[in-house]
Structure 1
Amino acid sequence: MGLAGWRAWLLGAAALPLLGGCSGSASHWLRYFTTAVSEPVPGLPRFVVVGSVDGQLHQLYDSDTKRTVPRVPWMGQAGREDPQYWDWYTQAAQGEEVDFREDLQNLMERDNQNRSAGLHTWQLMCGCELCEGAARGGEVRYAYDGRDFIALDPKTLTWTAADAAAQLTKAKWDAEPALAQSWKAYLEDCPEWLRKYLHYGAETLQRKEPPIVKVTRKDSQQGLETLLCRAHGFYPKEIDVTWRKDGKVRQEDAFHGVVSPNPDGTYYSRLSIEVDPKERSRYRCHVEHDGLQDPLDVAVKESAR
């Protein structure tokens, strides 16, 4: 897995929700994403732990600085409430760094790989979700060279191997029940930490900013035209955007873009559809979001907030 791919997965993992299934701002999630790499690469630490709440990076550890540090101002409250907070997370990350490097070396030797074979990665994603304020569940997943490798079933406390190469690791970890028990304890404590972080960052994480919506059009092929609906500047991330013709949803004709982050912490999304220009006036971009008192129905060249 190359440097560009590693960075893409790092940023993507921080921005994606864990479990889904809970709509709107009622859903919140905490995730930690850990990566060890097999060899030095300019601009890429050998080991990194990134923490994020609702996709916003809140703390970071890397093998260059050897310290866990806050990434947002509101995390300063963690240190004020508990003066040992940053030291504890630093010590935990330093211990993880040793374990991850050993695990990665073992995996490479098992596969008869060595340092000359290129960059290899050993990664962990873990965290939990709150839905309507209640704990919904948690997740512990490992990946090797950017591919799913092994995951914990929180209900049975057994490990699931993603492929044949992970079977040896599964057998070893299933024979060490203390490992699964430690993850069980983490997943049980995780929602309470998430509630604390949501309290620390309430002004940022629990705010509601409505989308700005604009519809434009351009000529397409075979006498059709494309209507493009853009929604931007909204928070939280969850949004429902659909094209409607005479009030009826048109999903089969629409092309959905992903919801992506803006530099200011808000989000944007887009949705296009090909239509007969003669029927243009019958189409509306329908937008529902927690920041809106009522849904928006926006026609071509109209904008609303």
Structure 2
Amino acid sequence: MCGQAVPTYLPTHQQQSQGRSSTGSSSHSLQYFYTGVSEAGQGLPRFVAVGYVDGQPMDHYDSNTRRKVPAVPWMRKVERDHAEHWRNPNRRISELVFKQSLVNLQNYYNQSGGFHTWQNMYGCELRGDGSKGGYDQYGYDGRDFIAFDKETLTWTAADVPAQNTKRKWEAEPAIAQRLKAYLEESCIEWLRRYLDYGKETLLRTERPVVKVTSQADHDGLETLVCQAHGFYPKAIETTWRRDGEVMDHATFRRDVAPNSDGTYHAWLSIKVDPKDRDRYRCHVEHDSLLEPLDIAWEETGASNLGLIIGCVVGAAFALLVAGIVGIYFYKKCQDCYRAASSE
């Protein structure tokens, strides 16, 4: 059987949260990424576990050090206050399960050797409206393998070999029941607890700095670019509007991305007729703003080369860091919060 150890190496749902504080109107998430590889080399551990709160690293474990290491200062207080959980040996158990799972998977796919990865991504979300979400999914060699549906207590297999794991896990109903209890109870309790410990950073708000620039196109049109940067938390609503009408169908946007200082930036553009540019506004809504922003292009905006370069350099640094960590994650991370419905 491929490794399904989530209900054993996570904190039990009987533990109660202490000192809860308001989580604000934004959504908050607790995520874990586990990766096992069939061959170690050049310092790459055979097993890695990384925890995140609201997309920010909080702790790290790997098979080389066999130690759970805090990634942020407030986690050291968690370590002191919950020493019995912090020293929990179950990550070592998960490491052994992942090792055996890789052997089983190579048999499923009729592989005799080589470099292979077995990855687990799971977590929960506490949304701004009070609703909760949770997911647990696995990938093999960077592709979907199997995913949990906590509403039906069933597993969705991505291919024929994954059907082997689906049959084995669904033959033991207790696996799905424990996992559902974790995602809906214990995971949320720990998320609230972490938000309370790290509230000075996790519950802060940073206002976005918004600039609109323009660039002439060869076809006689021009591109208006709206950049919002330096904001926190990550959730932000940005749209291009013409005379107040949302122009989503004509908007090109990139995903919200991290900056090296822990804040985020967003980017969206639209092609317009130069004579109509004054009709367009970049509309921005964020938790840090008392009122939405509506930013128009101004003549001085055309010379903000330094701002653009700064954003590009910051993004490149953040992507470099993400790339180093990214070997431990598989490609569906972006869809994890709404694995049963949508992102």
Structures share fold, TM-score greater than 0.5: yes
- CA RMSD in angstroms comes to 1.6
Give the fraction of aligned pairs with identical amino acids, expressed as a percent.
58
Q: Which residue of 2 aligns with 1:28?
A: 28
Higher strand share: 1
SS at match of 1:221: coil
TM-score, structure 1 normalization: 0.86
String of CA shifts for 1:121-150, please: whole Å, max 9, x gaps.
Answer: 111111111124745131111111111111
Q: 2:138 aligned with 1:142, yes or no?
A: yes
Q: Which residue of 2 aligns with 1:179?
A: 175
* Count of aligned pairs: 276
Q: 2:251 aligned with 1:254, yes or no?
A: yes
String of CA shifts for 1:266-302, please: whole Å, max 9, x gaps.
Answer: 0001111111111111111111111111111111147
Which of 101, 124, 127 is residue 128 of structure 1 equivalent to?
A: 124
Distance (Å, rounded) in 1 between the aligned partners of 2:289 and 2:39: 49
* 1:109/1:55 CA distance change after superposition, 3 Å: same
Distance (Å, rounded) in 1 between the aligned partners of 2:288 and 2:225: 22
- State the AA in 1 paired with 2:111: Q
Q: CA deviation at 1:179?
A: 2.3
SS at match of 1:208: coil
SS at match of 2:249: coil
Q: Which residue of 1 aligns with 2:280?
A: 283
Distance (Å, rounded) in 2 between the aligned partners of 1:254 and 1:151: 33
Greater RCO, 1 or 2 (C-alpha within 8 Å, sep 6+): 2
Bigger shift: residues 206-215 or 178-187: 178-187
8 Å contact 2:120–2:139 — kept in the other structure? yes
Distance (Å, rounded) in 2 between the aligned partners of 1:105 and 1:25: 45
8 Å contact 1:255–1:271 — kept in the other structure? yes
Which of 202, 207, 225 is residue 222 of structure 2 equivalent to?
A: 225
Q: 2:106 aligned with 1:108, yes or no?
A: yes
Q: 2:79 aligned with 1:96, yes or no?
A: no
Distance (Å, rounded) in 2 between the aligned partners of 1:30 and 1:85: 16
SS at match of 2:287: coil
Q: 2:163 aligned with 1:155, yes or no?
A: no
Distance (Å, rounded) in 2 between the aligned partners of 1:257 and 1:110: 38
8 Å contact 1:135–1:191 — kept in the other structure? no
Q: Where in structure 2 are the equivalents of 1:260-299 lying within 5 Å?
A: 260-299=257-296
8 Å contact 2:26–2:235 — kept in the other structure? no
Q: Which residue of 2 aligns with 1:169?
A: 165
8 Å contact 2:243–2:280 — kept in the other structure? yes
String of CA shifts for 1:252-278, please: whole Å, max 9, x gaps.
Answer: 211011100011110001111111111
Q: 2:239 aligned with 1:242, yes or no?
A: yes
Q: Which runs of 5+ in 2 are unaligned?
A: 1-23, 302-343
